[in-house]
Structure 1
Amino acid sequence: MADFNSLVQKAFYLGIGLASYANEKARIALTELEEQAQKVANKMVARGEITAEEARKYVDELVQQAQKKTEGSSQSPCDKEPRLIEIITEEEETAQTSKSNNIDELRNQVDFLQEELRRLKHK
């Protein structure tokens, strides 16, 4: 049971770590996009193709579009519910069949205990 708790804890921390990493990468990409857009806008202003106000609007629009795309992709219906994460090492892979039998047994025990608890509550 301690191994199962440890596995769940590791999976949870992995999920949190991946979400944090993805957030940081998105923030870095957004910052880089804003810097590149500002460089392009500055070049266009220097050439006299657009005004400083138009350049500011251009950069703001690009950043807003990028933010909407990153927010939209992270808000898909599948992301609103937790996903099952299974971590399997090479050693565990060979023992996975016996573990799946153990998991079925544990589920049966949990079902039995839940039923027993319901029975005792109704007494």
Structure 2
Amino acid sequence: MFAQLIMAAEPVVHEAASASVDWSVVWSFIRNVLTVMSLAGGLFFVLAGAVGVIRLPDFYTRLHAAGMTDTLGAELILFGLILQADGWQVIAKLLLVAFFLFVTSPTATHAVAYAAYKAGEKPLLGRWRAPALEDEA
């Protein structure tokens, strides 16, 4: 009886299931999904930075919103472009752009904030509440 259970538990391989998988199609699909996710994430961060620049109260908080989100958003967009690039030369150029953006964007944000501080721009201190959207219309 135990032998009958073992014989019944053996997997049945159908002829259609034993066909080889075209891995190039699978990798292409995965690459496309990662590209869409990366581009959508980059777009989200860029739009969040734009909303922050519009809604936040003073120069320093607006600069922070713009400086943080544009770097991450641009890096995600560049990553999506790298995934779709064909040649190694294009990938190398995109990686160089990503590196320089990663280095220069925070540096530029700091330089602008320091210049504003030296010019006498004061941050808004204390509690602040955003006005309702109806009040701004």
Work out whether the TM-score is over 0.5.
no
Q: What TM-score does the superposition give when structure 2 sets the normalisation length?
A: 0.36
Q: What TM-score does the superposition give when structure 1 sets the normalisation length?
A: 0.39
Question: Which structure's residues are more often helix, by fraction?
Answer: 1
